[in-house]
Structure 1
Amino acid sequence: MVIIEVVMGDITREDVDAIVTAANESLLGGGGVDGAIHQAAGPRLARAGGAIGPCEPGNAMATPAFDLNPPVRHIIHAVGPIWEGGGHGEADVLASCYRRSLQVADELGARSIAFPAIATGVYGFPADQAARIAVATVRSTATNVQRVRLVAFDEDAREHLQAALTATG
C-alpha cells in the first residue's frame, strides 16, 4: 500500500526518485512550479521536453532530471486542465494527470514520487477540489510506487491537501 505524505516546501529539494511538474502542453517550461523545476534542472530540461512534446491535458511524459540532485532521476511532466467552471470534464482530466504520472513512474521503476498541486495556479482549479481529487486518485490507482509526497507551495495548499488526506484516511 502506498504511503501518502503532505509536506510544504520546495519540490525541487524532495528526496524522491521522480518529481512531477505541472507542465503546459509544450513541455518547454512555464511559470510557477514548472518554472522553478525548469530553473533547478537547467536548460537541458526544456530541450528534452520540446523533443517529446506536445503533451495533451490529462497525460504525462518523463524526461531525465538533469541538474537536480539525486536521488531525483526523473521529471514527470503532467498537463492539467484549465478551469472553466467545472462543467467541462476538468475533474476527470486532473485525475488523469495523477493516474498517468503514477503509471509513468511505474514504467521508470520509481518507488517514490513528489507531486505539486497540479492546475491550482494559473490554470485556476479550486485548491480544495484539486486536493480531494489528488488524494482520491493516488489512493485508488494501482501502482508500485511506495511513497507519494504531496508538496504544497503555501499554507493554504497544505491545509487543503491535509484535509483531503485526513478525510480519506
Structure 2
Amino acid sequence: MPEPTLVRGDITTQVVDAIVNAADTRMRGGGGVDGAIHAAGGPAVLADCIARFPDGLATGDAGWTTAGRLPARWVIHTVGPNYRAGQRDRSLLTSCYRRCLEVAGELGARSIAFPLISAGIFGWPTDDAVAAAVETLRATPSEVSDVRLVAFGADVHDLIAAALEH
C-alpha cells in the first residue's frame, strides 16, 4: 500500500489514470466536486453514467465511467453518506475509499486522485472526513501505486497534511 500524497489544487486537472467523483445516488451531476467533474469532462461523463448506472449507485459503493475531456482516463464515481440528511454511519464513508481502490484495481489504474468525500455539501465533519480518508487509504491493500488526496482549499489542505504526518 502506498502512502497517500497530498496535492493542493483542482481535482479536474489531475493527470492520473482515475479521478474520484463524490456523487449523489442518482449520478446525474450536481454541485461541488460532482458538478466540476461533469462540467470539465463534458456530456460523455453524464451519458456514460446514465448508460452504466440507470438506477444510480448505493451509498458507499463506487463505479466507473469514461472521463470525457478530463486528463484522466476514468472517473470513479462514489456515493458518500449525506451527514446532513442523517446518514452518519462512518463505515459508509470508509467504504467509498475502499470501493474506489477496488474499482481502480479492476481497471488496472496505477494512479488515482481523491477529493475529500462527503465533507462538502453532504456536511460530514471535516476533521473526521480527513481521518476516515487517511486511515482507510493507508489500511486498504491495493495495486494502485500513486494515491493522491486533492484539497481545493487551504484549510482542508492543512488538515490533511497534519493527518498524513501521523
Range into which the TM-score falls when normalised by the shorter chain: over 0.9
Q: Which moved more, 1:95-104 or 1:149-158?
A: 149-158
Could you tell me which residue of structure 2 aligns to residue 100 of structure 1?
A: 99
Aligned match of 1:159: 158
- Structure 2 counterpart of 1:56, one-letter code: A
| Alpha-carbon distance, 1:86 to partner | 7.9
Structure 1 stretches of 5 or more lacking a match?
none
Distance 1:118 1:141 in 2: 16
The ranges of structure 1 where at least 4 consecutive aligned residues each deviate by more than 3 angstroms after the TM superposition are: 84-88
| Aligned position for 1:115 | 114
Work out the CA distance in 2 between the residues paired with 1:110 and 1:123: 28
Return the TM-score normalized by structure 2.
0.94
1:3 partner SS: coil
SS at 2:35 equivalent: helix
Query: 1: distance between equivalents of 2:159 and 2:10?
Result: 17
Task: Note the C-alpha offset of 1:88.
Answer: 3.8
Say if 1:146 and 1:161 are closer, same or farther in 2 by CA, change over 3 A. same
Matched-pair identity in %: 49
Secondary structure, aligned partner of 1:44: helix
- How far the C-alpha of 1:87 sits from its partner, in A, is 8.0
| Structure 2 CA distance for partners of 1:161 and 1:43, relative to 1, 3 Å | same
| Residue identity opposite 1:3 in structure 2 | E
> How far off its partner does 1:3 sit?
3.3
C-alpha separation in 2, matches of 1:88 and 1:148: 25
User: Quick one: which amino acid aligns to residue 64 of structure 1?
Assistant: T
Q: Residues 41 and 87 from structure 1, CA distance in 2 versus in 1: closer, same or farther, beyond 3 angstroms?
A: closer
Unaligned residue ranges in structure 2 (runs of 5+): none
**2:83 is aligned with 1:63:** no
Report the equivalent of 1:26: 26
The residue aligned with 1:15 is 15
Aligned-partner SS, 1:76: strand
Counterparts of 1:119 and 1:88 in 2: how far apart (Å)?
11
Alignment check: 8 A CA contact 1:21 1:115 kept: yes
> Which digits, 9 at most, give the CA deviation of each residue in 1:138-159, with x for residues without a partner?
0110100001110011011111
| Partner deviation per Cα, 1:25-63 (whole Å, 9 max, x = no partner) | 111111001111101100111111122221011000000
State the alpha-carbon separation in 1 of the partners of residues 97 and 14 from structure 2.
Answer: 18
Cα-Cα RMSD: 1.5
Describe the SS at the equivalent of 1:61: strand
Q: Offset of 1:67 from its aligned partner?
A: 1.0
Rounded Cα–Cα distance in structure 2 between residues aligned with 1:13 and 1:161: 19
Which residue pairs with 1:126 in the alignment? 125
**Other-structure match for 2:74:** 74
The TM-score normalised by the length of structure 1 is 0.93
**Structure 2 CA distance for partners of 1:88 and 1:120, relative to 1, 3 Å:** closer
Alpha-carbon distance in structure 1 between the residues aligned to 2:100 and 2:45: 17
